Every structure is written in structure tokens, then in C-alpha cells.
Amino acid sequence: MEASEVSVELYVLLSAVLFIMGVLGVLLRRNAILVFMSVELMLNAGNLALAAFARQWGNGDGHLMVFFVMTVAAAEVAVGLALIVAIFRTKQSINIDDLHMFKD
Amino acid sequence: MELTLFIIVGAIAVLSAAMMLISENAVYSALFLILNFACIAFFFLMLNAPFLAMVQITVYAGAIMVLFLFVIMLLGAERIMTGDFRYPWLTPAAVILALVFLVAASAAIIDGDIDFIEEHKPDPYVRAVHAVIDAGELDFYLDDTLIASGLAYEDSSDFELWTEAVDSRHTVRLFEAGADPASAEPLGEEIVEINAGEALSFVAVASGTGDMDPKLIVATEDVTFNEESGTARVVAVNALAKWSSVAIVDKENNTTLIEDLPYGQASAGVLLKKGKHSISVYPDGNDQNQLAVLKNTEFDDNTSVLWVLIEERQEGNTFESRILNIETSGSPSFGSPTHVGRLLFTHYVLPFEMVALLLLVAMIGAIVLTHESLAPREPMTRRLANPPAGLDQPIIGKPEK
């Protein structure tokens, strides 16, 4: 395995930037679907860091972790979108500011 | 070149993530997210993970995002609702928090104590080879770990990962099969150094003609995937005590593969083109006196071959030299689909099954959540688990806007 030109630090920095954009999306967007997509962005940023470290350590476990994260994300999307559809049916809205039945 | 590509694709990834965040239309957001996922798949390719890149495109950019787009279109939620913010202070707070986190993370990555520089090599492999004529079955111990038991003559054990401490001195000991390593006297003993990334064969050979006390020779092989395709890698071990050193010649091409290999030593690895070869062994500097030959033997590419030159007892107590040919196929290279698959079906079978179960549960959950008769009904009834004193019936009605 020859040393790569791009150091692992750059990959981890990029992954941190993407993760923070995902956090901003979760905090700032009001559309439940967009919040959900931002969560996917955060998961992908984590995957990128895992793959970068896997190469750094020459260890395949990181790749398997990425694989499992992808599988769990697929399961999460199935349930999450079903939840959004169910919420839309009852509230006729997916604005998360409207979802405060528990509060008042 | 690689750095330029990284910067270009990284810029596209960050830009597409930003566009996803600020797009007014949810469909555009989803499409920008797909572009972002494609960039990450490209990074997986750059990181030696072609399998992950493929899964990223098919599962993430394909299946998951199609599901998102489908739900967006189903609900007619393309347009973002522009209402007044319920928490107007949240925007600056979130931006400040994100910047603080970014600065903290960058500081940790750039100045932190994380060990980014040192390349780590994979754990070493060890195996045992029995080439002691006339000896019975043998047990091999590395320190106090049994690495091969009941090994018969001409046999070799499979390469096993050695996960204990490396870069230090270890003792290989040789016992008759079934002997207790704590009390029995070892037949042979050798101190070896094991380094990460190596594949070591501990070859037990007879020491000297007629003298059958075993002796241990350590051969270092390379069983990783052979980058130079079309070649096999060969390591030879000389156990011919009669000759001070030998040469090994490939007869068809008339090329000398290994020169001046002294008794009791292992050669460095040499590359051999795949296909049929006839291999001869001569004493050094004497190409008339052929000691042993390996006729028309097929060598596959991407294999590691160990030749052990031994003397075999013939009838009438004479000895004849021969080559013991032991082939090992190379292990798949890091990150290849074979590598991932092998890990998945050895170390990660249980997590794999559990994830499969999780997907099944998620499928049932999605059906339950969206099914007409099972979904929460309109109007929403609000019930208090512990009604206040004086309230006999639950509060029913819609929450006011």
C-alpha cells in the first residue's frame, strides 16, 4: 500500500465540515424531510472519516462499520419517512414547529 | 494530482451540501444531496474502498434518495413553508454553536494528539511446515500458543493471524505430537523476531545428513495481494547439509532465480512468471551436478510459493535431494470486495444477522406506521395519564393553534 498524497487529516477535516453542515440543517430547517436529509448528511460525514481511518490503519474493520452504518441508515429512512407520512396525515403539515402536541 | 482531485471534489461536496441547506425547493435539496453522496463515493474510491463506493451509489444515492424524492412528491412538500419562526433566537445560536464546534474539531485534528502520521501495518501471519524426514507428527508452539498440532511430514499448517505483541522476540518450540509443552523437552527451539505485515513460515528440517534432530528455519513470505499480476512469489529454504550453498535455476528460461543460498537459511522473495516451469537445484558454482528438480510444475499468479530443499532417505540408506513445493494463495488486497466479504462472513456474521433483523423490523414498522387502520386517527384525542384531582374524564379535543 503506497502512501497517499492526500493525508488523512484532510479527509477528517472535510468530514467535520460536512458534519457541521448537517447539524446546521437539523437546527435551522423547519421542513421535517430536510431535517431528515441533514441527518443523512451527518451519517455520510461520519462514514467518510471511518473510511479514511480504515485506510490509515490498514484495517478492514472501518469498512465494515461504514457498511453497517449504511444498512442502519436504510432502516432508519424507511421508519422515519413512514413517521413523516403518518404525521402529515394527522396534521396536514410537516413543519416541525407545528409538532408540539406534547408541550401545550 | 491526487491532491488536486481531492480539492475539486471536496469543494463540490461542500458546495452541494450548502446548496442542499439553502434550497427553497425540497426536490432541489434532495438532488443536491445526491450530488454530495456521489462525491463521497468518489472519496471512497480514493480511499481504497471500491466496494463501499459501489454500495454508496446503489444504496444511498439510488435507493434511499429515491425514497426521499418519492415521499416529497407524495406529500406535495416541495415548497418550504415560510412561517414565522417559533424560536427566532435559534438561528444565531445554531450558527455560533456550529462555528465553535468546527473550530474545536479543526484544532483537535490539526494540533491534537491523534496519531495521523504513522502508517500501521496489518498483523503478521504465522504457520508451521514439517520437513523433517523420519520424524513423527509434530506440535509447534509459538511462545505458549499452539500454532500447529499433529502436523505430518510434508504438511504445512494454514497461515494464522498472530495478534499478540509484535516487534519483539518470541520463541518457537517444537515437540512430538501430544507432548506437554510445560514439562517435555523441546525437539527444537528457535528465537524469532515477528514484525507487523510479515507472513512467517517456521520450517522444521533435519539438521545434517543422518542426524535427524530437527532444526528450525524461519522463512519470511509475503502473502498480500500481488500487485505485479501474472507472477508468483517464491521463497526457498535450503536444508541440504551436504552442500555449503546452492543455486536454483529456472531451466526453461535458463535464468538463475536464487544464487548462493547457504545451508539453513531462507532466501529473499523472488518473482516467477505464472505458467509451467522446470526448476533445478545445483550446488553453487557447479552446474553439472543437478541435485534436485521440480519438473513442469504449474505456478499460479498471486500465490506465494515456499520451496524447501530436503534430503529424503532412499532404499539402502542413501539420500536423495528433492524440492518440497508448498503454495499459498495470496490474501485479497485491503478494501477489495473479497476482503470486505471475507471479513463480513468471518468476524462480522453476528452483526450482519442483527442488521438483517433490524431491516426486517424496520419494514414491519413502516407498514404499521402507515397502515390505515393502525395509524393514529383524526381527531387527536388528548389524554392525561394522571388527571388532576376533580377531573373525572379525559380531556378530549384538538389542541388550539
Do the chains contact at A72 and B344, CB–CB below 8 Å?
no
Residue A61, min C-alpha distance to chain B (Å): 8
Residue B108 lies in a domain: yes
Share of chain A above pLDDT 70, in %: 93
The Cα B131–Cα B310 span in angstroms is 7
In the predicted model, what is the mean pLDDT of residues A28-34?
87
B48 to chain A: nearest residue by CA? Answer: A55
Lowest mean pLDDT among B45-59, B117-131, B228-242: B117-131
The Cα B140–Cα B148 span in angstroms is 5
Please report the pLDDT score of residue B135 as a whole number: 74
pTM of the model: 0.68
Residue A103 lies in a domain: no
Q: What is the pLDDT of residues B25-40, one digit of tens each?
A: 899 999 999 999 999 9
Q: Out of A41-50, B192-201, B240-249, B302-311, give the one with best mean pLDDT.
A: A41-50
Structurally, chain B folds into a number of domains equal to 5
- Per-residue CA distances from B352 to A49, A67, B46, B60, B359 (Å): 21, 10, 26, 18, 11
Do the chains contact at B119 and A58, CB–CB below 8 Å?
yes
Residue B396 lies in a domain: no
Residue B235, min C-alpha distance to chain A (Å): 21
Average pLDDT value for chain A:
86
Q: Where are the beta strands (DSSP E) in B132-274?
A: 138-142, 145-151, 160-161, 168-176, 188-194, 199-206, 214-221, 231-238, 245-250, 255-262, 270-273
Do the chains contact at A14 and B14, CB–CB below 8 Å?
yes
Residue B398 lies in a domain: no
| Same domain membership, residue B134 and residue B46 | no
| Same domain membership, residue B205 and residue B125 | yes
User: ipTM score here?
Assistant: 0.93
Structurally, chain A folds into a number of domains equal to 1
Share of chain B above pLDDT 90, in %: 19
Which of A71, A76, A91 is the best substitution to test chain B (most B C-beta atoms within 10 A)?
A71
Locate cell 425540497: which residue?
A: B26
Q: What is the pLDDT of residues B172-224, one digit of tens each?
A: 888 888 778 778 878 888 888 887 777 888 888 877 655 557 778 888 877 76
Residue B148, min C-alpha distance to chain A (Å): 26
Return the CATH number at A16: 1.10.287.3510
Instruction: Note down the domain range covering A43.
Output: 8-98
The Cα B199–Cα B208 span in angstroms is 27
Q: Give the nearest partner residue to B3 out of A5, A66, A83, using CB atoms.
A: A5
The Cα A21–Cα B29 span in angstroms is 13
A103 at B interface, C-beta within 8 A: no
Whether residue B127 has pLDDT greater than 50:
yes
- Under the banding of pLDDT at 50, 70 and 90, the label for residue B267 is confident
From B113, B134, B154, give the residue that closes a domain. B113
Residue A50, min C-alpha distance to chain B (Å): 10
Q: What is the pLDDT of residues B132-147, one digit of tens each?
A: 877 778 888 888 888 8
Return the CATH number at B39: 1.20.120.1200
Q: What is the pLDDT of residues B325-352, one digit of tens each?
A: 887 776 666 778 888 888 888 889 999 9
The Cα B188–Cα B213 span in angstroms is 8
In chain B, positions 111-170, which contact chain A (CB-CB < 8 Å)?
116, 119-122
Please report the pLDDT score of residue B40 as a whole number: 95
Whether residue A1 has pLDDT greater than 50:
no
Which of A1, A15, A23 is the best substitution to test chain B (most B C-beta atoms within 10 A)?
A1
Instruction: Note down the domain range covering B286.
Output: 224-331
The answer to whether B174 and B139 have CB atoms below 8 angstroms apart is yes
Q: What is the pLDDT of residues B284-328, one digit of tens each?
A: 777 777 778 878 788 877 778 888 888 777 766 677 777 878 877
Residue B353 lies in a domain: yes
B103: left (phi > 0), else alpha (psi -120 to 50), else beta? Answer: alpha
Residue B60 lies in a domain: yes
Do the chains contact at B109 and A13, CB–CB below 8 Å?
yes
